[in-house]
Structure 1
Amino acid sequence: MASTISIVLLTITTSILFLQRYLIARKTYTMNSMNAPKLVRLRWPLKTAMMMGIAGLLTVSLIPQATVITTSFRQTNGPVFTSGFTLDSYREVFYRVPNAIINTFTYSSIAMVFMLVMGLLVSYVIVRRSSKLTALLDSLIMIPYVMPGTVLGISLILAFNEPPIEITGTWVILVIAYCIRRLPYTMRSSTAVLHQIDKSVEEASISLGVSPVKSFFKTTAVLMVPGVLSGAS
């Protein structure tokens, strides 16, 4: 049943993604010093309404984090929460299972390196070499974004549990899972930044004798780093 619901979600999300690409392709969002964005001052009713809307979204997005922080100090009796607060859970984590924390940071750091490289290169191909094939690639990369984590985990176990690729139970499958799960976030932030970078930046570098590859890494990639890092982290 979970697989069936995932297919329905994938179909809806893929359709919305293609619609988004169609709308984005109709306009340009690049910025440069000759065409800087204009500062628009809003009147107080609209300004107040927008500030309240943004504050509401931020509040809703912070509720899960606040819940996690609060429950980490809750007193427990086995798997059941009881009244009162304590540091027993933190003592349990740091003194009994420290290897789990070390492994989490190690494998996630390895995955982040792969996501940074893939985010830079793949987003460049999708935005600068726009075609039906790159649109399909963009849609395929977004599939893990809408797929429930449990379904994705079970799929990876089933796919890599037998030869010729038998990596279930190893650290490799954890790195792959991190990359697949988080790559869509990196892609979305990377493409958003790249849409705002004018092609003339690279063209000016190439016209001065710098190769296209070096121009990409010395100009475009440097400007994309903040967006790539925010998505990968």
Structure 2
Amino acid sequence: MSIQEELNRIALENGVQYFGVADLSNATDFIVDQGGKNLSEYPYAISVGIRMMDSIVNKLTHRNERAALLNYKHHAYDVINSRLDMITSILSSHIQDNGYAALPIPSSKRIDDERICAQFSHKLAAHLSGLGWIGKSCLLITPDNGPRVRWATILTDAPLQATGTSMESRCGNCNECVKICPVQAFTGRNFVEGENREMRYDAKKCDDHFKEMENNGQLAVCGLCVYVCPHGRKKN
């Protein structure tokens, strides 16, 4: 069994529904710009994803029900992010035990408050792994569950094989995420390789919305773009 097959098996045994490997050779400039030159030393990214529970996501429009919003924040965000971090730690240890380098990227930790971004883009890894496309909401959209998946990434120099390539957008003329956004953070443009995120998404509007909710004593929960995407709702 190859190391990639072993990693896939371990991931599945630990509750992962999505496992992919991305070749990062064509994304060096983007990686360096966001996270620094050290990250560009890793030729591959392992992308792992856990699906959120539909019973929780489907309640996101119940904005006056504190229990519904608390369930989303706790189970569909905090708990799944913790599970992802544990899984990437386990996988990274296995990679290291086999003599290769591995750098697990936290599932949800911001390092740049000005640009409002993490050290590395989990969406980039999942996209380049062939697991989905970047939607008009700037979320990774999977064909089977839409954006109802949380992601984490491991950078590594282990001898892996890419599981796919960038998937073309299937958003078409749909603008449901654009229409439902309470702060109009999305422009409705389709993803274009190399184009600045600001052409599609105003992250500051989104960030300010969360801060306003916190200042008003509310739970800082939105997720409406996750809820409304037809690719995630089609089974419900």
Give TM-score scaled by structure 1 length.
0.26
Would you tell me which structure has more strand in proportion to its own residues?
2
Structure with bigger gyration radius = 1
